[in-house]
C-alpha cells in the first residue's frame, strides 16, 4: 500500500511539474519578436507593441540591447515609459500589468541605404528567467519619398515629378485599389507573383523589403505578413483582383504594412509619405549617455569646467577617498536620492562613477530618464582616476 501511495504521489508531482513548464512555455511576452522598420535618412520613427507582465506578482524586466546598430543609427528601447540605451532593469510592473514596448530609431543623413541593419535585444523577467524574449529589429535606411494620387483620374506625382498611371486608382467598397507592381516600385519593394497551374492566371502577389514579405492572394481577403520567422495573417476589407490584365491591391494596407503614412484629403486626393516619420513625444527620453575616460575628466576638472560629479559607491568608500568636488549618492538608493533635473541643471554635464564602470553605466540609464541631457559614465570606474583625491570627514 505504501508503495502504491508513493507511486501516486510521484505521479501527481510529476504531472504538476510538467503542467507548470507547459504553461510557462505557452506564455509569451510578445506575439511578435521580429520587426522590419524602414526609416528615412535624417528622420526618426517609432514602433510599439503590447507588453504584459504575465506573472501573478510584481516583476522587473531586464531590457538589454545585445547587438547595437552602427553609430549612424540611434536606437532606444522603451518599456512602460522608461527609455533604455544599453541595459536596465525596468519596473517593477504590477501583476498582469499591460503596457507598451517601443523602439525609437533615429537615422542620420549619412546612413547607408544599401544595407539592412540588424539589432538584437533581450527582454526578460528578473524574477522568472523562463519568461523572456529575444527580439530582432531589422532597419532599412531609405531616401524619403512623397507620393500623391487621385481617385478620379490617373495623374500622380512622386517627389513633385508628374506622371500618368496606366491604371488609375479605383475605389471599391470605400477602399482604394492601386496597381500592384507600380505601388511596390514606388515603395522600393521587390515584387513577385505566382501563377495558378489550374487557371494559368496570377494566383498570388508579393512584396519584399529586407526581412519582411507581404503575400496577397487574388480574390482572397486573407493576407500573410512574414517578418523573419514570424508569420501573421490579416483580413482585408477588399481582396486583390485583376482588371483589364492589371492586378489591383489595397493601397492603405500595402502602404502602411511596408511602413508608409497614408493621408486622405477629400474629395479625391491621397498623399503617401514613405517611410513614415514618427515625431518624438514631449515626454519621451531620447538622450544618449556616453563613457568618459579618466584623462578627459581630469582635463575638465583642471579647467574648472562646470560639472556635477557623483560618487555612487557606499558611504564608507566615499569618505575614504573620492574625486574632488564629487557628491555622494549610493547606487542602491539612486532612484530615490538622486536629484531630478531642473531647468537650471538639465544641461550641466553629469559624470557618474562607481567601483567599476558597470554600475555607473546602469546609473546613467536612470539619470538620462531623470531629465539630464549631458551624462557620462567614468570608464573603468574610480580605480582609473589618477588625479588628486579628497577625503570626507
Helix (H) or strand (E) holding 161: strand 161-164
DSSP conformation class of 374: S
Is 285 assigned a catalytic role? Answer: no
Long-range contacts of residues 133-137, Cβ cutoff 8 Å, at least 24 apart:
133/28, 133/29, 133/30, 133/33, 134/33, 135/30, 135/33, 135/34, 135/35, 136/33, 136/34, 136/35, 136/211, 136/228, 137/34, 137/35, 137/37, 137/75, 137/103, 137/105
Residue spans of alpha helices (H) in 104-217: 180-186
Q: Could you say which of 18, 107, 285, 354 is catalytic? A: 354
Q: How far apart are CA 292 and CA 382, in angstroms?
A: 12
Per-residue burial over 307-346, b = 16 or more CB atoms within 10 Å of its CB, e = otherwise = bbbbbbbeeebbeeebbeebebbbbeebeeebeebeeeee
Q: Are 101 and 123 in contact (CB under 8 A)?
A: yes
Which residues are designated catalytic? 354
Amino acid at each position: 500500500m505504501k508503495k502504491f501511495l508513493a507511486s501516486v504521489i510521484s505521479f501527481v508531482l510529476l504531472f504538476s511539474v510538467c503542467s507548470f513548464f507547459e504553461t510557462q512555455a505557452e506564455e509569451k511576452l510578445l506575439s511578435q519578436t521580429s520587426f522590419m522598420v524602414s526609416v528615412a535618412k535624417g528622420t526618426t520613427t517609432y514602433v510599439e507593441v503590447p507588453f504584459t507582465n504575465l506573472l501573478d506578482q510584481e516583476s522587473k524586466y531586464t531590457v538589454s540591447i545585445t547587438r547595437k546598430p552602427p553609430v549612424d543609427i540611434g536606437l532606444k528601447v522603451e518599456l512602460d515609459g522608461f527609455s533604455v540605451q544599453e541595459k536596465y532593469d525596468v519596473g517593477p510592473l504590477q501583476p498582469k500589468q499591460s503596457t507598451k514596448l517601443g523602439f525609437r530609431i533615429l537615422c542620420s543623413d549619412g546612413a547607408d541605404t544599401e544595407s539592412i541593419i540588424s539589432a538584437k535585444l533581450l527582454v526578460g523577467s528578473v524574477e522568472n528567467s523562463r519568461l523572456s524574449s529575444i527580439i530582432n529589429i531589422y532597419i532599412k535606411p531609405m531616401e524619403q519619398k512623397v507620393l500623391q494620387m487621385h481617385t478620379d483620374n490617373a495623374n500622380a506625382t512622386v517627389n513633385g515629378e508628374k506622371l500618368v498611371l496606366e491604371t488609375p486608382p479605383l475605389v471599391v467598397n470605400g477602399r482604394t485599389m492601386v496597381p500592384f507592381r507600380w505601388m511596390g516600385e514606388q515603395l522600393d519593394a521587390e515584387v513577385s507573383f505566382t501563377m495558378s497551374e489550374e487557371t494559368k492566371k496570377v494566383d498570388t502577389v508579393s512584396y519584399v523589403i529586407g526581412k519582411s514579405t507581404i503575400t496577397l492572394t487574388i480574390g482572397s481577403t486573407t493576407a500573410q505578413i512574414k517578418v523573419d520567422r514570424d508569420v501573421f495573417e490579416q483580413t482585408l476589407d477588399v481582396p486583390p483582383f485583376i482588371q483589364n490584365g492589371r492586378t489591383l491591391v489595397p493601397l492603405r494596407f500595402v502602404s502602411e504594412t511596408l511602413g508608409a503614412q497614408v493621408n486622405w484629403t477629400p474629395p479625391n486626393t491621397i498623399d503617401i509619405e514613405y517611410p513614415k516619420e514618427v515625431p518624438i513625444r514631449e515626454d519621451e527620453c531620447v538622450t544618449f549617455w556616453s563613457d568618459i575616460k579618466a584623462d578627459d575628466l581630469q582635463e575638465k576638472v583642471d579647467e574648472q569646467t562646470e560639472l556635477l560629479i557623483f560618487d555612487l559607491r557606499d558611504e564608507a568608500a566615499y569618505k575614504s577617498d573620492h574625486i574632488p568636488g564629487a557628491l555622494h549618492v549610493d547606487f542602491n538608493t539612486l532612484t530615490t536620492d538622486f536629484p531630478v533635473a531642473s531647468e537650471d541643471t538639465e544641461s550641466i554635464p553629469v559624470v557618474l562613477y562607481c567601483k567599476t564602470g558597470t554600475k555607473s553605466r546602469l546609473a546613467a540609464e536612470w539619470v538620462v530618464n531623470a531629465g539630464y541631457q549631458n551624462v557620462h559614465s567614468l570608464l573603468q570606474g574610480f580605480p582609473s582616476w589618477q588625479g588628486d583625491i579628497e577625503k570626507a570627514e
